Chains A and B, each alone.
Chain A
Amino acid sequence: MWRYTLKRMLVAVPMLLGISLLTFVLMRVTPGNYLDTIRMDPQFSKETIRHYEQLYQLDKPLAQQYIRWIYNLLHFELGYSFHYNVPVHKIIGERVWNTFVLSLSAFLFTWCIAIPLGIGAALNRNRPVDRAVQFFSYIALSFPGFFLAMIFLFWASQTGILPLGGMHSPDYDRLGMGGKIVDLLKHLVIPTRALSVGSIAALQRLMRGNMLEVLGQRYILTARAKGLPEGRVVYHHALRNAVNPLITLLGYEFSSLLSGAALIEIICSWPGLGSLMLTAVRSKDVYLVMASMLMGSILFMVGNLLADIALAKVDPRIRYD
């Protein structure tokens, strides 16, 4: 197990390098750089802009810039954000946390709803319950998340129960501990729902499929034949084997949440990594983008690795060496 983990981590290094190189190349070979934003300001002279160029080392050859970034990375420095004029890690720390909170909430919500839904649908295959669940899944899968976010916001504005966008109320800093948590949870409702509706539908379908597959296996037949109560057959024998394959999805789930969150974060004004990265990509704040991509990829890899290890733990048939 340890050897396996170590091996996976070693493989991760060239992949992360590959991702950072890909990001860097894409950001830098395309026309325009960060300073273009201030070039358009009537109050900046050529000299000032040249000064900035030197400050951010944009006048150096591309290869040198990239190698420098990698060199700094080895010293745990993620580089400098042009736009905010501070080291990247100072900006993304809080953003990563906010996105993590949102993703975690969406993730929990998804799994808590989708798994029982999938089991229920599988056990009632082709009955009205199943039909209704499948019908709503199709609907849920067929709208872009950003569109749902807007519709939810509109709905919230009509009813006035839920806060409209943002992460906290304006007077958040004056609330007590309990008030803060309630406030955060209230703000989480809309983005969480917008983000998880699609994945609930997708996961529910997978769960249903897996469950049906497992229920068709011979050992379930055997268990039933032995006269075990149906509840025990389903929840003890079938469920575990049906859930296992889904665990491998955990890692991918996070990556897709991160990327799906961008537009939803913007529409719901959620202060997360997604919205930060979108502006960074658009304004060519290279190092901020690279650091965020790297963070996203690392989260993804760790998630994947944990999922694989968890799978090996729960499923005795799987063994790594």
Chain B
Amino acid sequence: MVLATTSDPRSFNDILAKETSTSLVTDLIFEGLTTTNASTTKVEPNLAKSWDISEDGLTWTFHLREDARWNDGQPFTADDVVFTFNGLIYNPDIPSSARDIFTVDGKTFQVEKMDDYTVRFTLPVKFAPFLRGMSQAILPQHKLQKAVREGRFNFTWGIDADPAEIVGTGPFKLVRYDPGQRLVFERNPYYWKKSFDGDPLPYLERIIYLIVPGVDVGLLKFMEGTLDGYTLRGMDYPLVKPLEAKNNFTVYDLGPDTGSQFLFFNQNSGRNPQTGQPFVAPYKLAWFTDLEFRKAVAHAVDKEKIIEIVDNKLGYPQHSAMGPAAGFFYNPHVAEYDYDLNKARAILAAAGFSDRNGDGFIEDPRGNTVEFSLYTNAGTTERVDIAAIIREDLERLGMKVHFQALEFNTLVSKLTSRFDWEAVILGLTGGIEPHFGKNVWMSSGQLHMWYPMQEKPATAWEKRVDEIFDQGVQELDENKRKELYDEYQLIVSRELPLIYTVLGARLYAVRNKFGNLKPTNYGGVFHNPEELYMKEGYR
């Protein structure tokens, strides 16, 4: 099977690097104790056969599979689990985002080996996303312990590593990496999972990922037949779809994407500690913190036309902080803002914004022209298009908007450390577990971008969202949790700290070569690589 990815992996070390280009590789090689079922999005056993939970919900005992082996033939045991947590994730010398997930109120979990195939986790407080978090990849003690002891772990399993050294329990193992060109995986002969009929898995002998930075080249390579699957953009659809029958492939439309794209204003009332200047001019801060102003802007987002122009009608308007792809926790009943410039004008007029001096631009009640700069990151054409469309509508409302696409790093440094911006259009990846978005939604979070790292919540509704996240993480009853997170989505849609735009459709084109293909919205097309097989006649 030959697939494509747009960039080189940063590392093969699952602890150190987590972004897409890396997890694409590590997901094939490593496994966690649990996994998320791609169709039901429920948590299922993986390296752990089963688990028990104590009455108070604080002690979890995992019973591990006894037939699992590392791909170098060594047995997988409780030592590896304990090592992964105590030796790596909780190791203060190793920077890891996993530590942030498994730390609650500044306290870590206690991980103990009971016997070779039993591990006990003791939590300081109740932690609802615990089981889902247990999909954390387990790494082999016998390969890494020496590196940790010698303080070399941060430089282990980098992209310069010998592929044979990278040992996991997953269905495939890395055999070759040519930087900038390709990653070659072969089946792990020791893989524990068996098919329904008892055949050893995986079926596929080899998976090759080609590194293709150019989106158009990838598309051409798929059409030509080099690639067996390709992620399409909305605009590719009219080109690819008509060729389905002739070129013997299928285009799957798996519904809305998980990521979100939104517009937001700087509501930071702080001052630059060095110069004493406010981050945002006070009269502008007054507009941005004015809910009516944000509501008017929300009515000026032409979602329908954005979907038409940017995604060739293959997209979905987004209203809620969690997209429909989040499944269980998605709240469809939130405040929605239709595209209506007249309504927007009326709201602005009622809030005191109107064109008093007849220059074509509106002024606030004190006579300041509504003028601000709007940034987005250069490089993603779709987002730049969205920004340009919104800018045009804001100008139709009489706002003077200076649009600029900045380098991603420049933009992020403005958002997270310099705070000298006014309006930004950006995207974030999303998931199905609401708690993993706490850095965005809790007022102390650094990704609480419109006013990050507040010492105490600036508004009543932010206080309430903080409470919801604090309660939600400790609530083990799924339905009660959902009620809480529904409320936060409702609050966000009413208060509009982020003004949502549209979600693209998840589109994949796959050659009709493979059996057991079970595309789902959550997992995409290739979430079950171990079960896929080449159909007769394609081998």
Contact = CB atoms under 8 A, between A and B. Distances in A.
22 contacts: A30-B410, A31-B418, A32-B409, A32-B411, A32-B412, A38-B97, A42-B436, A42-B438, A42-B440, A45-B439, A55-B95, A84-B11, A85-B17, A85-B154, A86-B159, A156-B220, A157-B220, A164-B226, A170-B210, A170-B226, A173-B176, A283-B409
CB-based closest 6 A-B pairs: A271-B180, A32-B409, A36-B412, A32-B413, A165-B217, A43-B97
B147 to A, nearest CB: 14
A276 interface: yes
Interface in B506-530: none
A91 interface: yes
B19 interface: yes
B208 A170 contact: yes
Interface of B: 2, 7-8, 10-11, 13, 16-19, 95-97, 99-101, 154-155, 158-160, 176, 178-182, 184, 208, 210-214, 216-217, 220-221, 223-224, 226, 379, 407-418, 428-429, 436-440, 446-447
B224 A42 contact: no
Interface in A58-92: 83-87, 90-91
Contacts of B158: 84-86
B212 A269 contact: yes
B211 A39 contact: no
Interface range, A side: 35 or more
A126 interface: no
A91 B415 CA distance: 31
Which of A42, A150, A154 has the most chain B CB atoms closer than 10 A to its own CB? A42
A43 B439 CA distance: 7
Nearest to A281: B407
A193 to B, nearest CB: 16
A294 interface: no
B208 A272 contact: no
B446 A39 contact: yes
Interface of B is mostly: mixed
B413 A36 contact: yes
Contacts of A209: none
A40 B449 CA distance: 10
Interface in A169-185: 169-173
Contacts of B407: 32, 282
B96 A48 contact: yes
Interface in A147-174: 150, 153-154, 156-157, 160, 163-173
Contacts of A164: 217, 220-221, 224, 226
A52 interface: yes
Which of A44, A164, A266 has the most chain B CB atoms closer than 10 A to its own CB? A164
A276 B16 contact: no
Given A84-B11, A282-B408, A43 B155 contact: no
A223 to B, nearest CB: 53
Given A48-B100, A98-B180, A41 B409 contact: no
Contacts of B221: 164-166
Contacts, number: 171
A168 B181 contact: yes
B97 A41 contact: yes
Contacts of A124: none
Contacts of A170: 2, 182, 208, 210, 226
B410 A31 contact: yes
Contact of B155 (A45, A85, A150, A283): A85
Contacts of A276: 180
B437 A42 contact: yes
A25 to B, nearest CB: 16
Nearest to A39: B416
Contacts of B224: 157, 160, 164
Contacts of A166: 181, 210, 212, 217, 221
Contacts of A36: 408-410, 412-413, 416
A304 interface: no
A31 B100 contact: no
A214 interface: no
A150 B11 contact: no
Contact of B179 (A38, A51, A85, A95): A95
Given A39-B446, A48-B99, A173 B184 contact: yes
Contacts of B412: 32, 36-37, 39-40
A34 B407 CA distance: 12
A103 interface: no
A20 interface: no
Contacts of A156: 220
A52 B159 CA distance: 18
A37 B159 contact: no
A83 B10 contact: yes
Contacts of B19: 41
Interface string A85-121: 1110011001100100000000000000000000000
A44 B180 contact: no
A284 interface: yes
Which of A83, A170, A171 has the most chain B CB atoms closer than 10 A to its own CB? A170
